[in-house]
Structure 1
């Protein structure tokens, strides 16, 4: 079990931290009833502070609650004040969404124990007063911190609405490390467990939603991957719930959104039932290569296994398409997993166009190519007449020579390549 000092350090509000300090001091002195009383004060004070802060920001539900409290204070209406305190957890759960059902239940148990500690009349007959032990105090402290005190004044619904707005704006982080920082600071570190879970579900739903354009769905996919890096168990649980509910109702377009979305997460294939798996396998065999190239840059980055292998199996079609159209390959995140298949395809003597297409793909991932990789690629190239006798393929080799010019050891491999070409075909100009 975590120590009380560790829990105290997670409390966000300095005022709430002072009240938690009182509870910890009482706990340390063995005054467990007093500790529970102080802890309930910390909870109610924290909720009131959050309500007042959001009221200043114009949150309607918070404005109404703050007005109710101020009216009761101004009129010294003790009954109204007691009613307000008794309803705080309901307001936090139902109107402001600070807490969810689980946190509500845990804090309600704290409230019940607080009443038993504060009101001897609650104990009937000759029974002794309620006598909590240290374990109960620590459990209540952990529940209060984890469910409320460690989080800022962010309402669940408002935070999710803000995220949906931000994911569609140009300022949404493009770099993966910046995306993780943004999610931690804006949502995951400050949000309650319920907010975190609900936000993860919204992100997963967005990857599958036809209401968003492809670029926004890809942002949601990147967000899901970043969340999995930061909170793997929570994200997996949320995603599995969405997949369990929705996988059977997906048409082919929905399956494409699944492949280009949640299939980038390593557990998704295991979460799919046989029917969905079989349909995805067939879809990726039958889908036009143009659709595959246009859908979330499916060849970079690749989905998780085993879907990555199904996509790699279509690289020959992709190379043919790229070669025939002489279209560029611009990958969001180059994938080294493509290289073994590309080397295999480069050795196939199909056509000049095909060879040029394969080399175009190799150039798209050239930043990941090592000197040893380059040596293998050039050795394969000298064994394929469709490469070294092709104008188009040689144009791509020229690009490869340029992008690997600064690669340590590359010059040795290019010199060897030029020598082999000269020996094989003396009249063939070097790239």
Structure 2
């Protein structure tokens, strides 16, 4: 995957906070600080997952998302020096939401293992820090963007009500057809996997048939 592909995926990062954090990942990667890039990338993933859960609460008043965040907060209150909750939050998200699937989870687990290798010296190796090569870090960045960061932060099976509500709120701003088209493509359609895009079109066709 070349730089332009990474930049293309990077443009689809939804949250401005995540985009800002991800810039640090790319800066460290570009100067060859691969160990730092991996450690930072994992931190960005965890922050983005938390933002997505809060987004689900704000958008859908999602009880599962609220329960996950409360559970993680309770874990942090019990032991604020432990980072075990970071993987736990991904496990909870996999079990109780549709934000990631099993393949995404395995990719993120591998990233976490690489993060630990980069952050902690290994006694058996003479207290040497592991240093990943450029190809490994580039693959981790690509997989992370595809698995989480560039995905839409909403449930695709609820996308039609989301789009309609969004358009209702922006109707005074989006007054030209081309503006609406570009807005929908940038915010929703370009971020959807093909199977969900087809599902969306089928749902829209059913709505149109009922109206007609």
Same fold (TM over 0.5): yes
Q: Which residue does 1:67 correspond to in 2?
A: 70
Q: Deviations over 1:283-319 (max 9, x none)?
A: xxxxxxxxxxxxxxxxxxxxxxxxxxxxxxxxxxxxx
1:200 aligns with 2:202: no
Q: In 2 relative to 1, CA 43–125 (structure 1 residues): closer, same or farther, beyond 3 Å?
A: same
Q: In 2 relative to 1, CA 46–76 (structure 1 residues): closer, same or farther, beyond 3 Å?
A: same
Point out which structure has higher relative CO (alpha carbons under 8 A, 6+ apart).
Answer: 2
Which of 179-188 and 62-71 deviates more? 179-188
Alpha-carbon shift at residue 33 of structure 1 (Å): 0.7
Q: In 2 relative to 1, CA 180–71 (structure 1 residues): closer, same or farther, beyond 3 Å?
A: same
Q: Which residue does 1:118 correspond to in 2?
A: 119
Q: Matches of residues 139-158 of structure 1 in structure 2 within 5 Å?
A: 139-155=139-155
1:138 aligns with 2:132: no
Give the Cα–Cα distance (whole angstroms) in 1 for the partners of residues 68 and 143 of structure 2. 24
Q: 1:14 aligns with which of 16, 19, 36?
A: 16
Asked if the contact 1:103–1:147 (Cα under 8 Å) also holds between the matched residues in 2, the reply is yes
Q: 2:209 aligns with which of 189, 197, 215?
A: 215
Q: CA RMSD in A?
A: 3.6
Q: 2:34 aligns with which of 32, 35, 40?
A: 32
Q: Structure 2 stretches of 5 or more lacking a match?
A: 169-176
Q: Matches of residues 19-418 of structure 1 in structure 2 within 5 Å?
A: 19-57=21-59, 58-73=61-76, 75=77, 77-78=79-80, 82-121=83-122, 124=124, 129-155=129-155, 159-163=156-160, 184-185=185-186, 187-191=188-192, 193=193, 196-198=194-196, 200-201=198-199, 215-216=209-210
Give the Cα–Cα distance (whole angstroms) in 1 for the partners of residues 7 and 204 of structure 2. 39
The two structures have a TM-score, normalised by structure 2, of 0.72
Alpha-carbon shift at residue 134 of structure 1 (Å): 1.2
Q: Deviations over 1:12-60 (max 9, x none)?
A: 3221122212222222232211110001111111111111222234111
Higher helix residue share = 2
Alpha-carbon shift at residue 62 of structure 1 (Å): 0.8
Alpha-carbon shift at residue 205 of structure 1 (Å): 9.0
Alpha-carbon shift at residue 142 of structure 1 (Å): 1.6
